[in-house]
Amino acid sequence: MLDKALSGSKTYWGWIVFLLAIIGAGFLFYLQQFAQGLGITGMSRDVSWGFYISQFTFLVGVAASGVMVVLPYYLHDYKAFGKITILGEFLAIPAVIMCMLFIFVDMGQPLRVLNVILHPTPNSVMFYDMVVLSGYLFLNLLVGWTVLHAEKKGIAPPKWIKPFIYISIAWAPSIHTVTAFLYAGLPGRHFWLTAIMAARFLASAFASGPALLIILCMIVRKFTKFDPGKEAIQALGKIVTYFMITNVFFLGLEFFTAFYSAIPGHTHPFVYLYVGLEGYSKLVPLMWISSILAVVSLVLLLFPQLRRNETILAIASICVFFSLWIDKGFGLIVGGFVPNPFEKITEYWPTVPEATISLAVWAVGALVLTILYKIAVSIKEASGGDAAH
């Protein structure tokens, strides 16, 4: 099936070359980082995780959100999602690959990465994160590929694949729960020490992931003959709406607990992020952009009349995606380190090499996504777009 990715229009190849150029630029900066160390990033003794780990966290959510199309289709036989389950599964694959790359580029001694397997440590949440992420990658490759292969041949998918599909449905929330546990179990980091961290992670994931999927569906429809279908896109819109509401509600709960209890350690990171603390306010504009985007998206999503207009739905989806990308892909991680354990403030901002390396990781994801979607869409176009099962 891979041959489908090797023939394409000029636009297709132009896009591929563009992505390869970004990957090349990022790779050069990575060589610099590899030679000189992580000192070329904006991270410091006080803010020891930055953009890489934040992006990893955000993308685990995108990966997990594939379940939002797989579950209704396989467990509730929701036919409209039949056409796009493969898009959900094939979004999860590059998302997990990006997660792994972001972890890799964040490592001080990347050549020792196998130590995690050579010295397995079950008391470390990172050990489980490795297990669930690689497992999820395997499941999505297996399920996506097998089902698509069957569709290409015009037959129903083999029966043996069903258990793997059900496992992948249960597996998806687990990857994001485990990722939340990386943060939620650390004493002394008040911002992260919250029992609803995993719930918040899942809510924001199930809003941002399907929002991205809506945008991708629209792009696919514009550039190919494959139409994911109005109903499927509208159903995704409903999913985004409910989970965005849940996400904002959960954030509200955090605010209540921090400010009504008025425990300084709990309020400080919120104050730092939203209004600035002791004159330090580097992240304030970003957090407000995130909040405004969240409000705008909710207004657009809450009213079905607005949401039914696909242009408005697209705008709302973009707002949701970027709102949560800022909130989770930046503020949530950096906020956990400010103030530091001495109640002192060190601010963080990514450097050009760091941003370029991050962009290159996204480009790798976009490249893998493009190739997978190209294959899937070519087969869908050939089979008339209907799922063969």
Out of 174, 346, 370, 383, name the contact with another protein by CB under 8 A: 346
Residue number, 117 or 253, with CB nearest to another protein: 117
Out of 281, 340, 370, 383, name the contact with another protein by CB under 8 A: 340
Residue number, 113 or 141, with CB nearest to another protein: 113
Nearest 5°: CA angle at 183, between 317 and 266?
A: 90
DSSP one-letter code for 158:
P
Q: Is 209 helix (H, G, I), strand (E, B) or coil?
A: helix
Residue number, 7 or 121, with CB nearest to another protein: 121
Is the four-CA dihedral 173, 179, 180, 186 of positive or negative sign?
Answer: positive
Out of 154, 163, 188, 384, name the contact with another protein by CB under 8 A: 188
Contact present, 66 and 139 (Cβ < 8 Å): no
Q: Does 334 bind another protein (CB under 8 A)?
A: no
Is the four-CA dihedral 128, 178, 345, 204 of positive or negative sign?
Answer: positive
CA distances from 221 to 215, 341, 372 (A): 10, 50, 15
What whole-number distance in Å separates Cα of residue 207 and Cα of residue 211?
Answer: 6
Residue number, 132 or 248, with CB nearest to another protein: 132
Q: Does 289 bind another protein (CB under 8 A)?
A: no
Q: Which stretch binds another protein (CB under 8 A): 54-62, 269-277, 334-342, 376-384?
A: 334-342
Give min distance, CB of 121 to another protein, in A. 5
Q: Which stretch binds another protein (CB under 8 A): 41-49, 211-219, 281-289, 379-387?
A: 41-49
What whole-number distance in Å separates Cα of residue 187 and Cα of residue 298?
Answer: 34
**Residue the block writes with tokens 């550039």:** 223
Q: Does 131 bind another protein (CB under 8 A)?
A: no
Contact present, 174 and 132 (Cβ < 8 Å): yes
Out of 5, 25, 116, 215, name the contact with another protein by CB under 8 A: 116
CA distances from 78 to 19, 69, 235, 381 (A): 35, 9, 10, 21
Name the residues that contact another protein, by CB under 8 A: 36-39, 43-46, 48-49, 103, 106-110, 112-113, 115-116, 118-119, 121, 123-127, 130, 182-183, 186-189, 264-265, 336-337, 340-344, 346
